[in-house]
């Protein structure tokens, strides 16, 4: 006579449902917090962009896209974000590669050097660049003392200053995804290419570089999206020509008290960011970048 197997908790039967329900209930406070802190403010922002007078309906959006100055600010935001992303990639890729090939102790020191900026205020770092780059700053004063220049170089209040400051701040967000991906690349692959007669440069270009593409894409996406919403650094290091849309939104709300147009700009920025993330998600897989927990 055969007997039915005893039900095992967590493996089917009637006990799995209540167990999942109990664990799922722990997520309710977090979901409530996310709705109150994120979903509700964004919903109110969208509603206000179409209900605040005098431009009720889509009037605020029509006013934005009908203004040449507003379109220039939007284009300037994309341009600076793209420049910063390229600069971070040009600096971050060799740095992350160096972290992979050096001994572990040296790699740890380089990693700490990347994380140190997170321990200081973004505002302090931005003002430090303003002191370094201004006409009477460290660079111009040193060059004048050495007799190399007679007039100060235009290092401040321009696109160069904004790009430099943002690159320094966002560089860790490029290095860390690159380092994560590069660390998972088997070094035996490049050694095998060398044993087959490939020079070091060709082995790197044909083997290592393609395998690091997920880190390049993930780091570039992260830096670009963060750069789109930058406010403090362009406001301090830039001029009116370097105005980005985040500062433009603040000016509309704080100076003109135009909540309708300001929230419409914020919705446009949010929509553009979501579109960028949606497009990038077809090329960047977080599983390829960070790996599944079970594989570590």
- Region at 52 (left for phi over 0; alpha for psi -120 to 50; beta for the rest): beta
Residue 284 in 3-state DSSP? coil
> pTM value?
0.81
pLDDT of residue 20: 54
pLDDT of residue 287: 58
Residue 286's contacts (CB-CB under 8 Å, 6 or more residues apart) are 218
pLDDT of residue 295: 43
What CATH class does 68-295 carry? mainly alpha
The string of pLDDT tens digits covering residues 114-172 is: 888 878 888 888 888 988 998 888 898 888 888 888 888 888 888 899 999 999 999 99
Q: For the chain, list residues with pLDDT below 50.
A: 1, 6-14, 290-296
pLDDT of residue 48: 85
What long-range pairs does 121-130 form, CB within 8 A, spacing at least 24? 122/169, 122/232, 122/233, 123/232, 125/165, 125/168, 125/169, 126/165, 126/169, 126/232, 126/233, 126/236, 126/237, 127/236, 129/161, 129/164, 129/165, 129/168, 129/237, 130/156, 130/161, 130/236, 130/237
- Determine the longest span between alpha carbons in the chain, in angstroms: 103
pLDDT of residue 21: 66
């Amino acid at each position: 006579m055969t007997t039915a197997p005893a039900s095992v908790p967590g493996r089917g039967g009637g006990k799995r449902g209540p167990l999942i329900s109990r664990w799922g209930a722990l997520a309710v406070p977090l979901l409530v917090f996310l709705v109150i802190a994120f979903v509700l403010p964004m919903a109110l922002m969208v509603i206000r962009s179409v209900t605040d007078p005098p431009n009720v309906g889509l009037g605020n959006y029509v006013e934005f896209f009908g203004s040449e100055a507003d379109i220039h600010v939007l284009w300037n935001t994309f341009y600076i974000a793209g420049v910063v992303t390229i600069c971070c990639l040009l600096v971050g890729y060799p740095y992350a590669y160096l972290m992979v090939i050096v001994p572990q102790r040296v790699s740890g020191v380089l990693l700490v050097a990347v994380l140190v900026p997170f321990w200081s205020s973004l505002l302090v770092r931005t003002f430090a660049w303003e002191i370094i780059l201004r006409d009477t700053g460290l660079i111009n004063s040193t060059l004048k003392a050495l007799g190399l220049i007679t007039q100060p170089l235009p290092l401040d209040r321009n696109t160069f200053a904004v790009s430099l400051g943002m690159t320094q701040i966002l560089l860790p967000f490029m290095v860390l995804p690159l380092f994560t991906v590069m660390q998972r690349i088997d070094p035996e692959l490049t050694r095998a290419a060398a044993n087959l007669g490939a020079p070091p440069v060709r082995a790197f270009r044909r083997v290592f570089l393609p395998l690091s593409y997920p880190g390049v894409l993930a780091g570039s996406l992260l830096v670009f999206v963060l750069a789109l919403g930058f406010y403090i650094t362009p406001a301090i290091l830039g001029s009116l020509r370097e105005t980005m849309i985040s500062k433009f939104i603040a000016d509309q709300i704080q100076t003109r008290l135009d909540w309708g147009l300001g929230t419409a700009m914020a919705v446009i920025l949010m929509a553009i960011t979501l579109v960028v993330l949606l497009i990038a998600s077809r090329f960047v897989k977080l599983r390829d970048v960070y790996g599944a927990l079970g594989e570590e």
